[in-house]
Amino acid sequence: MDKMPRWADVFLIPLISLLLAAGLSALVILAIGENPWAALKMMVSGALGSTYGWGYTLYYTTNFIFTGLAVSVAYHARMFNIGGEGQAMLGGLGVALACLYLPLPHWLIALPVAAAAAAIFGAAWALIPGYLQAKRGSHIVITTIMFNFIAAALLNYILVNLLRPQGSMDPATAKFPEATHLPTLHDLLAPLGIAFSKAAPANVTFLVGLLACFVVWLLLWRTKLGYEIRAFGHSEPAAVYAGINPVRITVIAMLISGGLAGLMAINNVMGEAERLVMNAVEGAGFIGIAVALMGRNHPAGVLIAALLFGFLYQGGAELALWTSIPRELIVVIQALVILFTGALDDMVRMPVERLFTRRKGEA
Amino acid sequence: MVDNQQTGRPEMVAPDASRAPAIELRGISKAFGPVQANKDISIRVMPGTIHGIIGENGAGKSTLMSILYGFYKADKGEIFVNGDKKNITDSQTAIAAGIGMVFQHFKLVQNFTVLENVILGAEDGALLRPSLAKARKELTALAKEYELNVNPDAVVEDLSVGHQQRVEILKALYRQAEILILDEPTGVLTPAEADHLFRILENLRREGKTIILITHKLREIMEITDTVSVMRRGQMTATVKTSETSPEQLAELMVGRKVLLRVDKTAANPGDTVLEVRGLRVRDEAGVERLKGIDLDIRAGEVLGIAGVAGNGQSELLQVLGGMRSGKGSIRVNGQELDLTGLKSDARSRRKRGIAHVPEDRQREGLIMDFHAWENVAFGYHDDPKYQRGLFMDNDALRQDTQAKMAKFDVRPPDCWLSAKSFSGGNQQKIVVAREIERNPDLLLIGQPTRGVDIGAIEFIHEQIIALRDQGKAILLVSVELDEIFALSDRIAVMFDGQIMGVRDPAQTNEKELGLMMAGITDTGPQGQEASRNG
Amino acid sequence: MDFLTIIQILDSTVRLATPLLLACLAGLYSERAGVFDIGLEGKMLAAAFMSAAVAYVSGSVWLGLLAGVGASLALSVIHGLASITFRGNQLISAVAINFLAAGLTVLIAQSWFQQGGRTPSLIGGARFEPITLPFADSLAGVPFIGPIYSDLISGHSALVYIALAMVPLTWWILYRTRFGLRLRAVGENPAAVDTAGVSVTGLRYAAVAICGVLCGLAGAYLATGLQAGFVKDMTAGRGYIALAALIFAKWRPWYALGATLLFGLLQAVALRYQNIDLGGVVIPVQFMDALPYILTVIILAGFVGKAIPPRAGGEPYVKER
Amino acid sequence: AEPALIFDLGGKFDKSFNEAAFAGAQKWAEETGESFREIELQSEAQREQALRRFAESGANPVVMAGFAFGSALEEVAADYPDTKFVIIDMVTPGDNVRSVVFNEHEGSYLVGMMAAQKSASGVVGFVGGMDIPLIRKFACGYVQGVKAVNPDATVIQNMTGTTPAAWGDPVKGGELTKAQIAQGADVVYHAAGGTGVGVLQAAADAGIYGIGVDSNQNYMFPGHVLTSMLKRVDNAVYEAFKDGPELATGFQVMGIANGGIGYAMDEFNADLVTDEMKASVDEAAAKIASGELLVHDYMADSACPVE
Ligand SMILES: Nc1ncnc2c1ncn2[C@@H]1O[C@H](COP(=O)(O)OP(=O)(O)OP(=O)(O)O)[C@@H](O)[C@H]1O
Ligand SMILES: Nc1ncnc2c1ncn2[C@@H]1O[C@H](COP(=O)(O)OP(=O)(O)OP(=O)(O)O)[C@@H](O)[C@H]1O
Ligand SMILES: [Mg+2]
Ligand SMILES: [Mg+2]
């Protein structure tokens, strides 16, 4: 007997959480002496009012789809992967190495090769925490946090000492060769007669992101492996009873999760910067947590939540550009969303549940 | 170690009708979400008596006592202690009112010493040193007075269950409890330890303390209590003087109708040996040896029942056979050796060898509570080609299969889209049993098949087990209910301390003999006919 | 490396270890009571900002300290509400708190001071001044002992000495007082505490509050002791290093001192030398930066002594489903 | 069109490089009564977006403070041929780009001379920000100046880090300075952006002298900042704004000769600098301006003749 209809759990509760977060953010904006309504309008027009805005919104969305999916897959196996940041960083390294050192004549070849490199590097970075969790019970949350820092130091070393071109001052790799540049939405939509801003970085990776959502859905709900991941996530003793090997599933789930986080790099590193810079991930790994929580760990939910955060990100960048509201406003909103949808879920849920049980009682 | 000498029953302190009851509960109700655990319960417990409470699993006994102890808060109802109305909001007020409780699952801090556990919450001041010194003295006195010996400096996790229980009792006594609640204290004890416990309880009663004893063992009720209350499905069905009732009457009150737990079955017709276990040894995660060399045979067409006090290795036996644990020794099924360690020792490989397994704990192991019924019907068999279509799982086939099984096993409601947690305990068990039996296994491992299941469902499940046997399959049954063991088994093996104490023919043995074997005593002569306890 | 350099590096170690030690002990209280806290970072950051802001405005470092502790406590209350009262996920709650602090500090700093998310530099009484211990100057000339006493031991700000004093105090509270006994018990088995008639909620809130106070001190030290003012993200991962130290220390006070001094030393060395040449093998500074994390992973993996966290840690205490 | 200014990661109020750029823009705004747009970058990846956003919205010219914009600008400039871009500290190709570079080594030489004269111990320090050729250019000029006065002087050099984070790490700046002081340094020059606040703080705390950079930082710790090496980023920005959309593109060098480089004297350090010191430094400045004295530029050959 369920206490609440499913739609309430899937839509109503995240919506209420979001509204709470938005309300509090509005108060914060008021408190720093700005007009929340005007801010919202500016965010909407900046993020959705032009193809340029859309181009950035979708670009950020693509990042968050990957990191959100990464968190979700791990979550289904009852692991909280907060190492998306480091895994995406390493994914970037994979992309950079592939683009710089492999002969890739055309983007159609470069994309799958770089994607594979990104996924492999991201997965490799998730492997050790996953393995340690499975074999030695080392808490995955702590190890993935540690691995974020280790990744940053490693990348720092590699960029500064190994990959930085001679004479360059930036700790960044050389520009990737022309042939590996991914077509932007402008390039893709032009043949269809649709004019899309040339300046915006949204690129073909967005389509890869949509595909990833679908594939993850297939994986989790239509394959044996997905079945095993979910079963393990719900109950480890039951999984053992059913002959599901906990070590194998833990490691595989982390590999998939890390691979997805790593895949993000084809968007930001290959699609946008076209070289690997320090801190290219820009916290997207952490936003994945908020995205997964809001999206209820379902790929469709992740897609919607990623869009929302893409909007917030681009809108927030616009705010920072044209007003004195710093971009950190988005970080606050992000924090509140995580707080309400994740940690204070019960606070939101209990009154709603009560409402429904009362209604049912009356009916 | 057991002197077989029943402590003579002391002269009973006559319950003084003029005195106020030590405990009186009026109209207690408590719901956990949709589950109504206690419904309008009233009960009086007279001072200086041992008051038994019996009832099936889930009847609400623990809930009621936890309310009295302030652990849960009742939705409705009043509590009187020694005639005074008490508003028991938390355990602190209960303790202040002189109530102590030993929980079914001990509430001890595992890495604290006995002394630290005893003073926790009952310290004398902000600093520990004086409290510890005082408690050490007090403990010595209590130990002498009540035969409650434990080393005050031992760390709790190193103590045996029996000793941990003593610590719990000491905790209550240290807080000067006049009313002591014990929730299923003997479930985890060997008969010898249980006897010791009862001697302690007698002592306490003699001191004038009031004891409430929860159990579902009728023998214990008859042996030690003065009064007994029976609970069924959250309600109090009766309170009677022990001397004026009989086990049969209590059983009937407990389940709500006449019980005659005999399954109609014909004699077994055993065929070839299906399962052959030799020298099986298993260590648990802590490195403790739980199976110490088990030898067993089961033939096609027979049910081997394993009797024993919970915790003597039965669970580990099922788990190692079912591929949930690794072990040492030899297991053969249909003459073929099974791997006991490594990749091929898992449950999946066992299933491939024709072993099906109904686990002891359906909610923790047998089902994924959040999965739909149809997903659960594939559980453990999800890689069966029947459920696959190319790269993907064939969910339509799975749902059809589920509907068919639900119809055959009368699962209610027959809706394959409901999640497992939305079914009642009995129906959950039917889903698991249907899944395993319908695989038509050569060997069925089945643990506690009817724990917490209602009578109707019990009969149904028992019939299915016998039907499977009659198809010529081998069945290993583990149950703590002796009645069930007797009803189903063609042979009975008794486990004690990780070993098989012996195998008996149910027609040629009795509960007394099995009881002794369960306590580790085997030197009772052939077939143990004359083995008995005086009393 | 000469004696003086060693003294200098150790001196720097003490300074850098202080915020780690305070935060580590903060985490110790909270986690010993069963409330995991990966939000040390956020609380320190909030405290750093508030202490700097109030110290700047009021000119008094003590008022600043109070405000910093207040800010940190406020976040502790949120963590308590989420993880104790509403039985939410403690990890998620802490992640949220870290982001909240990262965002709000910059937002408010920008609104108050318009300096791009920093506070103005603190001068005079708005900062913790070094304390010269008695005889430090007169002993300075004595060989060996002199530099150790006057340079290494003397001349730190009040919070350094407070942090060091917290170690024995914490040990004493944990193992010698009633509160400590109950605190440890509630992190191991809250049901035992509950049935012994002690409030689990009360104990856990108390622990979370102590955690808030200590994080407040750590943050205030960063902004008003180690540095002179707040800059964006100035904790720079110190909360996580403190967490790592807590695991390294196996949740014990004296070990915590050792672990934070070790990590402080690593930072001090990494600060002073870009690359360390160990007879031909050059250790890059990035490796030094990552070393605390690598060590923690090794410890977590149980290769060097297993770290067993409090048994009830991370789980909300739920009696009724 | 409104001109626009983009600050680098150190932030607008780093009291140094970015703040100087801001001051130039401010001066232009005050003089003309017009307004300009600005943004502080929060991350590497934002560079290109900021450039595009300004170009897109019609800002002209778009001025960016910092070498790190180089590669982003290379990418963007061609897409907006009608917009003029000005980049400071970096040479970037493009028909619509003005690249402004400074002869920092010249100014560093001057303050190095002053440091050597002020130092009683004969040991002076240098704390750089990110370890890049540009900062080595500062260091090299400084050492040359020190040695010109006192050939036996020791110069302790430290770089804060290898990533842009090195521009905003006052704690590390402070620790490095303390270490240098412990080694006897009594004047420390920093070229470390926001990190330098920690350097000057530590110097002031220890009662020795710091030397500021880029902007005039003398006021920050009165009596403890000997002088500041002025890199007139403000002038560069001011001029770019004043030239407006029609500004001349190409390569522009700012040095002592054209007032792009200097050192700061004001009421805060008047008591610290003797007339004698000032006279010798001014003399050297005149020689450099006239070309009589050539200070070696590290970036010319990635090497420094003195250590
Ligand atoms: N903390 C709880 N949360 C939710 N439901 C509970 C809780 N404790 C007990 N219940 C439910 O309340 C009912 C009564 O449980 P209770 O433990 O009181 O039974 P019991 O008579 O002690 O059974 P047993 O003999 O198995 O110990 C059961 O259906 C049980 O599932
Ligand atoms: N944990 C739960 N979550 C949701 N619904 C539940 C839960 N436990 C019980 N229910 C609902 O309560 C109903 C009664 O369950 P309960 O286990 O008390 O049945 P029961 O009367 O004991 O039956 P049975 O004898 O078959 O166990 C079930 O049909 C189920 O829908
Ligand atoms: Mg019970
Ligand atoms: Mg039931």
Residues C276, C265: Cα–Cα separation, whole Å: 14
Whether residue B421 has its Cβ less than 6 Å from ligand 2: yes
Chain A residues whose CB is inside 8 A of the B388 CB are 224
- The nearest CA of chain A is from the CA of C203 a distance in Å of 20
Residue C228: pLDDT band (50, 70, 90) is confident
Residue of the CA atom closest to atom 14 of ligand 1: B60
Chain mean position to CA D283: 22
Output phi, psi for D43, to 5 deg. -155, 160
The beta-carbon neighbor of C195 closest among B93, B103, B123 is B103
Task: Please give the structure tokens belonging to residue A136.
Answer: 């030695």
Local structure of D3: helix, strand or coil: coil
Which CA distances in Å does D247 have to B86, B96, D65, D101, D260? 90, 88, 17, 16, 18
Whether residue B415 has its Cβ less than 6 Å from ligand 2: no
d(CA B424, ligand 2 centre) in Å: 4
Residue B222: CA atoms inside 13 Å, Cβ hemisphere, count? 12
Mean pLDDT of D62-88: 90
Asked if D34 contacts D2 with a C-beta cutoff of 8 angstroms, the reply is yes
Residue C283: pLDDT band (50, 70, 90) is confident
CA nearest C8: which of C272, C238, C277?
Answer: C272
Residue C97, pLDDT > 90, answer yes
pLDDT reported for residue D205: 87
Where does ligand 1 bind, in terms of residues with CB under 6 Å? B 32, 35, 37, 55, 57-63, 104; C 319-321
If one looks up domain B273-363+442-526 in CATH, what number appears?
A: 3.40.50.300
Mean pLDDT of C215-219: 97
pLDDT reported for residue D227: 95
Q: Which residue has the higher pLDDT, B310 or A213?
A: A213
pLDDT one-digit tens code per residue, A129-156: 999 999 888 889 889 999 999 999 999 9
Local structure of D193: helix, strand or coil: coil
Task: Please give the structure tokens belonging to residue A340.
Answer: 């309400």
Torsion over CA: A183, A186, A187, A188 (sign): positive
pLDDT reported for residue A13: 87
pLDDT reported for residue C154: 82
B127 interfacial to chain C (CB closer than 8 Å): yes
Q: Which of A89, A140, A149 should we substitute to test contact with C (largest number of C Cβ atoms within 10 Å)?
A: A149
Asked if D200 contacts D221 with a C-beta cutoff of 8 angstroms, the reply is yes
Q: Which residue has the higher pLDDT, A171 or B388?
A: B388
pLDDT reported for residue A136: 86
> Which ranges in chain B are annotated with CATH 3.40.50.300?
1-98+178-254, 273-363+442-526
Helix (H) or strand (E) holding C183: helix C178-188
d(CA B311, ligand 4 centre) in Å: 23
A50-59, A323-332, B366-375, C251-260: least confidently modelled range: A323-332
- Label the pairing between strands D37-40 and D4-7: parallel
d(CA B451, ligand 3 centre) in Å: 13
A211-220, B516-525, C220-229, C263-272: least confidently modelled range: B516-525
Chains D and B touch (3+ CB pairs under 8 A): no
pLDDT reported for residue B314: 92
Mean pLDDT of B372-390: 92
Asked if C226 contacts D202 with a C-beta cutoff of 8 angstroms, the reply is no
Residue B260: pLDDT band (50, 70, 90) is low
Residue B525, pLDDT > 50, answer no
Return all residues near A207 (Cβ < 8 A) that are at least 6 apart: none
Name the residue type at position B372.
H
- The nearest CA of chain C is from the CA of D9 a distance in Å of 11
Q: What is the dihedral of CA B55, B56, B58, B63, to 10 degrees?
A: 20
CA nearest A262: which of A113, A106, A93, A102?
Answer: A93
If one looks up domain A53-349 in CATH, what number appears?
A: 1.10.3470
Side by side, the strands of the sheet bearing B35-45 are B35-45, B23-32, B76-81, B84-86
pLDDT reported for residue B55: 81
pLDDT reported for residue B3: 40
Helix (H) or strand (E) holding B27: strand B23-32
CB neighbourhood size of C145 (10 A): 10
Asked if A176 contacts A47 with a C-beta cutoff of 8 angstroms, the reply is no
CA nearest B382: which of A229, A235, A74?
Answer: A229
d(CA B214, ligand 4 centre) in Å: 19
Residue of the CA atom closest to atom 10 of ligand 2: B422
Mean pLDDT of B504-524: 80
Residue of the CA atom closest to atom 18 of ligand 1: B60
Residue B533: pLDDT band (50, 70, 90) is very low
- Chain D residue with minimal CA distance to C2? D183
CB neighbourhood size of A2 (10 A): 13
Task: Please give the structure tokens belonging to residue B459.
Answer: 């009969």
Give the chains touching A; criterion: ≥3 Cβ pairs < 8 Å.
Answer: B, C, D
d(CA C191, ligand 1 centre) in Å: 16
The beta-carbon neighbor of C8 closest among D162, D174, D182 is D182
d(CA B161, ligand 4 centre) in Å: 28
d(CA C182, ligand 1 centre) in Å: 28
Residues B322, B354: Cα–Cα separation, whole Å: 11
pLDDT reported for residue A3: 61
Three-state secondary structure readout of B251-284? HHHHHCCCCCCCCCCCCCCCCCEEEEEEEEEEEC
Asked if A112 contacts A178 with a C-beta cutoff of 8 angstroms, the reply is no
Nearest ligand for residue B426 CA: 2
- Chain C residue with minimal CA distance to B37? C320
Cα C156-C158-C164 angle, rounded to 5 deg: 80
Residue C313: pLDDT band (50, 70, 90) is confident
Chain A residues whose CB is inside 8 A of the D40 CB are 320
Task: Please give the structure tokens belonging to residue A70.
Answer: 């990464």
CA nearest D211: which of D195, D243, D188?
Answer: D188
pLDDT one-digit tens code per residue, A223-237: 999 999 999 999 999
pLDDT reported for residue B531: 36
- Chain C residue with minimal CA distance to A333? C100
Mean pLDDT of C42-57: 97
Exposure string for B293-329, b = 16+ CB within 10 A, e = fewer? ebebbbbbbbbbbbbbbebbbbbbbbbbbbbbbebeb
pLDDT one-digit tens code per residue, B436-459: 999 999 999 999 898 767 667 788
Ligand 2 probe mutation, B56, B231, B422, most atoms within 8 A of CB: B422
Q: Which residue has the tokens 């920072």?
A: A320
Whole-number average pLDDT of chain C: 90
> Which contacts (CB < 8 Å, 24+ apart) does range C286-289 have?
C286/A153, C286/A154, C286/A156, C286/A157, C286/A160, C287/A153, C287/A157, C289/A149, C289/A153, C289/A156
Torsion over CA: A162, A168, A170, A175 (sign): negative
Residues B137, B151: Cα–Cα separation, whole Å: 12
Which letter does DSSP use for residue A195 in this model? -
Q: Which of A3, A234, A240, A346 should we substitute to test contact with B (largest number of B Cβ atoms within 10 Å)?
A: A240
CA nearest B243: which of B274, B266, B221?
Answer: B221
pLDDT one-digit tens code per residue, B6-41: 433 333 444 455 678 999 999 999 988 777 889 999
Residue C1: pLDDT band (50, 70, 90) is low
Q: CB-based burial of residue B43 (10 Å sphere; 0-12 exposed, 13-18 middle, 19+ buried)?
A: buried
pLDDT one-digit tens code per residue, C22-45: 999 999 999 999 999 999 999 999
Residue D83, pLDDT > 80, answer yes
Which letter does DSSP use for residue B361 in this model? -
Residue of the CA atom closest to atom 24 of ligand 1: B57
Exposure string for C201-235, b = 16+ CB within 10 A, e = fewer? eebbbbbbbbbbbbbbbbbbbbbbbbbbbbbbbbb
Q: What is the pTM of this model?
A: 0.86
Residues A68, A286: Cα–Cα separation, whole Å: 9
Cβ-defined contact of A146 to C81 (cutoff 8 Å): no
Q: Where are the alpha helices (DSSP H) in A6-106?
A: 6-7, 13-31, 36-48, 51-76, 84-101
CA nearest C222: which of C70, C61, C58?
Answer: C61
Q: Which residue has the higher pLDDT, C235 or B189?
A: C235
Q: Which residue has the higher pLDDT, B310 or A188?
A: A188
pLDDT one-digit tens code per residue, D146-200: 999 999 999 999 988 877 778 878 888 988 998 899 889 999 999 998 889 889 9
Residue B2: pLDDT band (50, 70, 90) is very low
Cα B6-B9-B14 angle, rounded to 5 deg: 165
Q: Which residue has the higher pLDDT, D134 or C51?
A: C51
Q: Which residue has the tokens 């370890």?
A: D131
pLDDT reported for residue C305: 61
Local structure of B78: helix, strand or coil: strand
Cβ-defined contact of A328 to C103 (cutoff 8 Å): yes
Residue B174: pLDDT band (50, 70, 90) is very high
Asked if D206 contacts D178 with a C-beta cutoff of 8 angstroms, the reply is yes
pLDDT reported for residue C76: 97
pLDDT reported for residue B480: 79
Local structure of B59: helix, strand or coil: coil
Q: Tell how many helices (H) and how many strands (E) occur in chain D.
A: 10, 12
CB neighbourhood size of D246 (10 A): 8
pLDDT one-digit tens code per residue, B45-80: 999 999 999 887 678 888 999 999 999 999 999 999
pLDDT reported for residue B190: 67
CATH of B1-98+178-254, one of 3.20.20.70, 3.40.50.1820, 3.40.630.30, 3.40.50.300: 3.40.50.300
Whole-number average pLDDT of chain D: 90
Name the residue type at position A250.
T
Cβ-defined contact of D39 to A320 (cutoff 8 Å): yes
Helix (H) or strand (E) holding B163: helix B161-174
Local structure of B250: helix, strand or coil: helix
CA nearest A326: which of C110, C99, C236, D54?
Answer: C110
Chain A residues whose CB is inside 8 A of the D50 CB are 321
pLDDT reported for residue C134: 82
Cβ-defined contact of C181 to B127 (cutoff 8 Å): no
Task: Please give the structure tokens belonging to residue B431.
Answer: 């889903």
Give the chains touching C; criterion: ≥3 Cβ pairs < 8 Å.
Answer: A, B, D
pLDDT reported for residue D10: 72
Whole-number average pLDDT of chain A: 91
Return all residues near C10 (Cβ < 8 A) that are at least 6 apart: C152, C265, C268
Q: Which atom from ligand 1 is nearest to the alpha carbon of B72?
A: 1
Residues C91, C88: Cα–Cα separation, whole Å: 9
Q: Which residue has the tokens 């209550």?
A: B172
pLDDT reported for residue A1: 42
Whole-number average pLDDT of chain B: 86
Q: Which atom from ligand 2 is nearest to the alpha carbon of B428?
A: 26
Residue C107, pLDDT > 70, answer yes
Return all residues near C51 (Cβ < 8 A) that are at least 6 apart: C61, C64, C65, C67, C68, C69, C71, C216, C219, C220, C223, C224, C230
